[in-house]
């Protein structure tokens, strides 16, 4: 299962492709730069003093000259740190303002992000789309900026939404709506994860953001709006799905399943991974998952379905038609 991320570069906060992440990177490098200069000066003076004034065999035991009440020295070592703190405060305040108070263009994409133990629900209220764990957003270039604004909610405990190359962490808190935005200007897949301990599978609450040119995004939207094709050859699998506990937690458009506790499965097979990034979405993995999710993700809240081999095969065959 470790192959799932092999083709995607490691997510680094020092490699931003979106304005909020870029602003944060600039302020981080600026702060690191100032503190590095302080470190070199203080460390250098300390090393010099240790070496230059170390004990010699021919020292007498008298105290060196003591310096008290020098106004210029005390003024300098009060003023300089105050100025440094002031500069750091002002630049940080400016960055916070830039990240938190953007102007919202009328054609911005809106997404409701709902964090669950241990997966992400994405709802596009203006587009009528619901998906999970893999967020699709359009490329936002300088000519036609189309940022995506995320409204973050939690269905249970506190989580934190973090895609290092796109934006800083934003807490996702029950009974509260936090907001953030991204405007990625390089197409690609960006990995993210929950950044606030939220229970057993916090570490496997992964997410992907798929940034694609507007035409590809519009094609994805159109496909997600379609009901899944009805395939008579998997009717038995569909019947198993509709007659077991699956329907209590999952939604599949056009069926009796309208549960909201687990991910919407209407277009399950358009997603690259299952179990919030725990494995690639192949038929074999899907079979292992449905048989007993705890094998892949110990502590997962989805119960083992305890189906016989034949029923399990038929159910997975049905799920595999959900494009």
Q: Residue 119 or residue 289: which is nearer to ligand CUA going by CB?
A: 119
| CB of 200 vs ligand CUA, minimal distance in Å | 10
* Binding-site string for ligand CUA from residue 26 to residue 65, where x marks contact by CB under 6 A and - marks none: ----------------------------------------
Q: List, as one string, the DSSP characters of 256-313.
A: S-B--SS---TTGGGSSEETTTTEE--HHHHHHHHH-HHHHSTT-SSPP----HHHHH
Interface pick for ligand CUA out of 53, 97, 197, 261 (rule CB under 6 A):
197
Spatial CB neighbours of 300, under 8 Å, sequence gap ≥ 6: 118, 201, 275, 293, 294
User: What letter does residue 20 receive in the DSSP assignment?
Assistant: H
Interface pick for ligand CUA out of 136, 159, 165, 250 (rule CB under 6 A):
159
Half-sphere CA count of 166, side-chain side, radius 13 A: 31
For the beta sheet containing 148-154, the strands, ordered from the edge strand earlier in sequence to the opposite edge, are: 129-132, 119-124, 109-116, 148-154, 178-182
| CB of 290 vs ligand CUA, minimal distance in Å | 23
* Binding-site string for ligand CUA from residue 106 to residue 145, where x marks contact by CB under 6 A and - marks none: ---------x--x---------------------------
- Select from 133-141, 189-197, 207-215, 310-318 the region that touches ligand CUA (CB under 6 A): 189-197
**Strand bridging mode 134-138 / 206-212:** parallel
- Select from 19-27, 128-136, 192-200, 206-214 the region that touches ligand CUA (CB under 6 A): 192-200
202 scored as a contact of ligand CUA (CB under 6 A): yes
Interface pick for ligand CUA out of 27, 137, 205, 278 (rule CB under 6 A):
205
Q: What is the dihedral of CA 42, 44, 46, 51, to 10 degrees?
A: 180
198 scored as a contact of ligand CUA (CB under 6 A): yes
SS3 content of the chain, % helix, strand, coil (to 5): 40, 20, 40
196 scored as a contact of ligand CUA (CB under 6 A): yes
Using CB under 6 A as the criterion, which residues of the chain lie in contact with ligand CUA when the complex forms? 115, 118, 159, 194, 196-198, 202, 205
């Amino acid at each position: 299962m470790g192959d799932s991320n092999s083709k995607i570069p490691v997510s680094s906060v020092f490699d931003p492709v979106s304005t909020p992440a870029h602003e944060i990177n600039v302020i981080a490098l600026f702060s690191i730069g100032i503190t590095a200069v302080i470190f070199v000066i203080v460390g250098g003076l300390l090393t010099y003093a240790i070496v230059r004034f170390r004990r010699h065999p021919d020292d007498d035991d008298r105290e060196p000259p003591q310096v008290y009440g020098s106004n210029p020295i005390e003024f300098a070592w009060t003023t300089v740190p105050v100025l440094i703190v002031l500069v750091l405060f002002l630049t940080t305040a400016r960055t916070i303002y830039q990240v938190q108070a953007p102007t919202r263009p009328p054609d911005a994409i809106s997404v409701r992000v709902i964090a669950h133990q241990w997966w992400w629900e994405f709802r596009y209220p203006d587009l009528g789309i619901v998906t999970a764990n893999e967020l699709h957003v359009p490329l936002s270039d300088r000519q036609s900026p189309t940022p995506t604004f995320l409204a973050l909610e939690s269905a249970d405990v506190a989580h934190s939404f973090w895609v290092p190359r796109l934006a800083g962490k934003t807490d996702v808190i029950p009974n509260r709506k936090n907001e953030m935005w991204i405007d990625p200007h390089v197409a690609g897949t960006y990995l993210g994860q929950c950044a606030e301990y939220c229970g057993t599978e916090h570490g496997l609450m992964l997410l992907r953001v798929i940034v694609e040119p507007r035409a590809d995004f519009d094609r994805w939207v159109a496909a997600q709006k379609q009901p899944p094709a009805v395939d008579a050859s998997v009717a038995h699998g569909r019947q198993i799905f509709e007659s077991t506990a699956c329907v209590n937690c999952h939604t599949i458009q056009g069926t009796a399943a309208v549960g909201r506790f687990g991910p919407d499965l209407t277009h399950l097979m358009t997603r690259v991974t299952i179990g919030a990034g725990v494995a690639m979405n192949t038929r074999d993995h899907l079979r292992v998952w449905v048989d007993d999710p705890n094998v892949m993700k110990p502590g997962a809240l989805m119960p083992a379905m305890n189906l016989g081999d034949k029923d399990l095969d038929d159910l997975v065959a049905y799920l595999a038609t959900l494009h």
